[in-house]
Amino acid sequence: MQTYFNEVADHITSLLQGNEAFTCTFDGEESDFIRFNQGKVRQAGAVSQRSLQLDLIEGMRHAAGAIVLSGEREEDHARVAGLVKDLRAQRAELPEDPYLLYATEPHDTERVDPSRLPDPVAALGEIQSAAGPHDLVGLYAAGGIHAGFANSFGQRNWFSTHSYNFDWSFYHATDKAVKSGYAGFEWDPSRFQRKVDEAVRKLDVLQRDPHEVPRGHYRVYLTPDALNEMVGMLSWGGFGLKALRTKQTPLLKLAEGEAAFDDSVSIAENTAEGASPNFQESGFLRPDRVSLIDNGHHTASLVSPRSAKEFGVETNGASAGESPESLDMAAGGLPEEGMIERLGTGLYVGNLHYLNWSDLMACKTTGMTRFATFWVEDGEIAAPVNVMRFDESLYRVLGSNLAGLTQERDWLLSPDTYFHRSTHSARLPGALVEDFAFTL
C-alpha cells in the first residue's frame, strides 16, 4: 500500500495549477472479522479498503474532500483527478481561512511493524476452546492498519502496524455479563487463558442473587476498564488548547491552579508507546511524549495547527480534535494482587457506560455501572449488584478521595470500527477510591 499511496500522491502533484498546494492523508486496512454468539462463529469475513482525504490549497483558501480508492491505478487516477477538479471549483467560492496552517518543511518518517499475528484459524480454535459451555459473545478483529501523509512540498510519512482486538463477554442473563478484552500485536495463549479463567470466576458469582445497594457513598475499586471510561471523558475538550483558551474545558480549575489531582496522577500523550501514527493530517510530527498532567498539576495542552495559528503558539502535532490518541496514565503504588481484601467492604466496579458531564466546570460526570459489578464484604466478593447510577467529580475520584492507584496497568486498544479499525489506545492502572457517590 505504501508504494501505491506514493504513486497517488505524485499524481496529485502533477495535477496542480499555478500556486496550488495540497496535503493528503491515506487510511487503509486488511482486516479479518469473526463474530461470536453462544460460543459459536456467527459471521466471518475480511475487509480490504483504502481511502484518501485531500485538502487543495491556494493562498489562504482551501477545500477538502475524500474518496475511496479501488487499488486499480487508472481508475483511481481518474477519481483523484475528478476530486481535484471539484475541490478547485469549491475553493473558488470559499472565503480565506485565517487559521489555515500546514507543514511546509518536509520531514519524512516511516514505521513498518512486521506482522506477529496468529493464524486466524488458530485464534479461532483457542477462542472456541475457551468458551467451553459458556455463552461467549464477542468480535475478533485482526490485520494490518496503514496510514500515510503526503504534500506538494515532497513530504512523505508512512505508518503500518498489525494488531488484534478480541472484545468479548460471558453472558449470564438479563443485564448480567462479564465483559473482557484482549488486544495486542502478538497472541499469548497463557495470558488469554488467564483472562478467561478470571472471567469464569466472575461469571460464577453472577449466578448468585443480586445484593441490593441503596444510593449513597461507598468505597470502590475501579478496574482499568472502568477508570478508562472516566478519564476518557477528559478527551471531550479536557486536554485541548482551544477548549482551555475559550474556557470550555472541564479541567479549567486544574489549569488555573484552583484545583489539583492527587500527586500520584500523571497523564501523558505517549505516541512512542502507542499504536497511532506519529504524524497528523496537516503534516506536523508528533513528539514521542507530551506531558499533560504531572504529579496532579496541569502542565501542557494538545495543540492542533489551527489552534497554534489562532493563539500564536507552536503546534505539538495534535489532530484537529485535540484529544489523546495514545493516552498514558502513570502507575501507582498499590499491588493489584489482594485488591479485594484491601477494598474491604464496598463495590468492585468492572465497567461503566453512558457517561456524560453533569457539571462541566466541576469536572463532574454521571453514568451507569455495567456488566460485572460486585458487592464486596469483609474482603470477599459476596454478590452481583443491579445497575447503579453514579455522579462524581474527577477532582474527588483522582484527587481528594483517591486512596491509591495500582502498580499494574492494562493497555487497552480501542475496539471501534467506525469507517476503519481504530488505532487509539490507553494504558491505565486501577483505582481505589473513597466515598464514591451513587445516586440511583
pLDDT value of position 151: 98
pLDDT in tens, 155-196: 999 999 999 999 999 999 888 899 999 999 999 999 999 999
pLDDT value of position 120: 85
Distance CA 350, CA 169 (A): 12
Please state which architecture CATH assigns to domain 2-206.
2-Layer Sandwich (3.30)
Instruction: Supply the DSSP symbol for 272.
Output: G
pLDDT value of position 13: 98
pLDDT value of position 130: 87
Provide the 10 A C-beta neighbour count for residue 162: 18
Q: Average model confidence (pLDDT) for the chain?
A: 96
Secondary structure of 335-354 in the HEC alphabet? CCCCHHHHHCCEEEEEEEEE
pLDDT value of position 343: 97
pLDDT in tens, 411-439: 999 999 999 999 999 999 999 999 999 99
Domains of the chain, residue spans: 2-206, 216-438
Q: Is 99 helix (H, G, I), strand (E, B) or coil?
A: coil
Nine-digit cell string for 387: 445497575
Size (the chain), residues: 440
Whether 216 has a pLDDT exceeding 90, the answer reads yes
pLDDT in tens, 38-67: 999 999 999 999 999 999 999 999 999 999
Asked if residue 359 lies in contact with residue 396, where contact means CB atoms within 8 angstroms, the answer is no
| 139 CB-near residues (< 8 Å, 6+ apart) | 33, 34, 35, 36, 166, 167, 168, 415
Distance CA 174, CA 181 (A): 21
List the beta bridge partners of residue 160. Answer: 112, 146
pLDDT in tens, 8-29: 999 999 999 999 999 999 999 9
Question: In Å, what is the CA distance from 350 to each residue of 122, 136, 162, 180, 369?
Answer: 29, 18, 28, 9, 8
Distance CA 375, CA 371 (A): 13
pLDDT category of residue 225 using cuts at 50, 70 and 90: very high
pLDDT value of position 121: 87
pLDDT in tens, 365-414: 999 998 889 999 999 999 999 999 999 999 999 999 999 999 999 999 99
| 416 CB-near residues (< 8 Å, 6+ apart) | 422, 424
pLDDT in tens, 90-139: 999 999 999 999 999 999 999 999 999 988 888 889 999 988 899 999 99
pLDDT value of position 226: 97
Q: Which amino acid is at 31?
A: S
pLDDT in tens, 275-319: 999 999 999 999 999 999 999 999 999 999 999 999 999 999 999
pLDDT value of position 397: 98
